[in-house]
């Protein structure tokens, strides 16, 4: 890759980093992670071997983003529903915004749904509105969903199995929970849990990525590569001209 192209990429990355840093002004930990990438990118751009590490990390991050955002389905037995006061800190990026129609605050009551999987492992979901924000589930029925989950409570002796659609992760270290989107009763622990919506979105997304990639490769081969080659040739001619001019002065005798 030519030096000036790497310089342009570096300037674009630095500008984007400033914008994202401003967007994450309330999340100190993630701002530090973002700025840590600033020092790593130049090394990756100037290394033919480490660029694969960069692209591998980029695709892994994209896959993690999809895994967090797209809906998943769990078959569980609901054992309790409750609300808890949460004071948001460094993990606030993993919590949804305030409920639709309420004031913004860094501390609020959150609904939770507690249950057990068929293998006996506990699972806890938060129940928050997504409103008109991201991810685009347009969920505004938090109270109704809490009532539905409370109506499906059961015990280990007389279980009632339900399918909970959710997005997000459960991580004890970061104290984050998946967000329940819907709940419905099912026949048993072996009920169908195939995420058809997720599969459809992935198929459409893969088709879009393939279409953009094919057109980019065609544009690069027909327009971009010839233009860069012409710029390289022009720069080489200018460098040769400057070198000849400097060498001509070196050969002249001093007066």
**How far is it between the farthest Cα atoms of the chain?**
107
Q: Where are the domains of the chain?
A: 1-69, 72-198
pLDDT tens column, 189-231: 999 888 899 999 999 999 999 999 999 888 878 877 777 777 7
Q: Dihedral sign, CA of 163, 168, 171, 174?
A: negative
Please give, one letter per residue, the 3-state secondary structure of 14-27: HHHHHHHHHHCCCC
Lookup: tokens for 43: 């090394």
Count CA atoms within 13 Å of residue 159 on its CB side: 16
CA distance linking residue 59 with residue 44, whole number of Å: 15
Q: What is the pLDDT of residue 251?
A: 56
Nearest alpha carbon to residue 149 among 161, 137, 138: 161
Q: Does domain 72-198 have CATH number 2.40.50?
A: yes
Q: Which of 58, 172, 50, 187 is nearest to 123 (CA)?
A: 172
| Closest by Cα among 140, 142, 137 to 125 | 142
| H-run or E-run covering 201 | helix 196-219
Tell me what pLDDT residue 13 has. 58
User: Can you give the pLDDT at residue 24?
Assistant: 47
Torsion angle defined by CA atoms of residues 54, 60, 63 and 68, in that order, rounded to the nearest 10 degrees: -120
Quickly tell me which residue has 């993990």 as its tokens.
91
Task: Give this prediction's pTM.
Answer: 0.68
pLDDT in tens, the chain (255 residues): 555 555 556 556 555 555 454 444 445 555 555 555 555 555 555 555 566 777 778 888 889 999 999 999 999 999 999 999 988 777 777 887 766 666 666 778 899 999 999 999 999 999 999 888 888 899 989 999 999 999 999 999 999 999 999 999 998 888 899 999 999 999 999 998 888 999 999 999 999 999 999 998 888 788 777 777 777 666 767 766 666 666 666 655 555
């Amino acid at each position: 890759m030519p030096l000036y192209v790497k310089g342009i990429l570096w300037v674009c990355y630095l500008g984007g980093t400033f914008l994202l840093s401003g967007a994450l002004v309330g999340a100190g930990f993630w701002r530090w992670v973002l700025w840590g990438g600033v020092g790593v990118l130049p090394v990756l751009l100037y290394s033919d071997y480490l660029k694969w590490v960069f692209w591998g990390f980029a695709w892994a991050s994209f896959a993690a983003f999809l895994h967090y955002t797209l809906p998943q389905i769990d078959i569980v037995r609901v054992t309790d529903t409750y609300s808890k006061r949460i004071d948001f800190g460094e993990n606030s990026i993993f919590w949804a915004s305030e409920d639709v129609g309420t004031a913004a605050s860094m501390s609020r009551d959150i609904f939770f749904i507690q249950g057990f999987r068929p293998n006996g492992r506990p699972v806890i979901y938060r129940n928050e509105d997504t409103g008109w924000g991201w991810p685009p589930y347009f969920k505004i029925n938090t109270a109704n969903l809490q009532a539905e989950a409370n109506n499906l409570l059961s015990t280990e002796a007389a279980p009632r199995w339900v399918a909970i659609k959710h997005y997000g992760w459960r991580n004890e270290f970061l104290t984050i929970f998946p967000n329940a989107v819907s709940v419905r009763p099912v026949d048993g622990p072996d009920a169908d849990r195939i995420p058809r919506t997720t599969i459809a979105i992935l198929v459409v997304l893969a088709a879009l990525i393939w279409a953009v990639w094919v057109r980019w490769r065609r544009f690069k081969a027909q327009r971009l590569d010839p233009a860069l080659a012409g710029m390289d040739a022009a720069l080489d001619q200018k460098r040769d001209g400057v070198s000849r001019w400097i060498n001509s002065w070196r050969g002249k005798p001093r007066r």
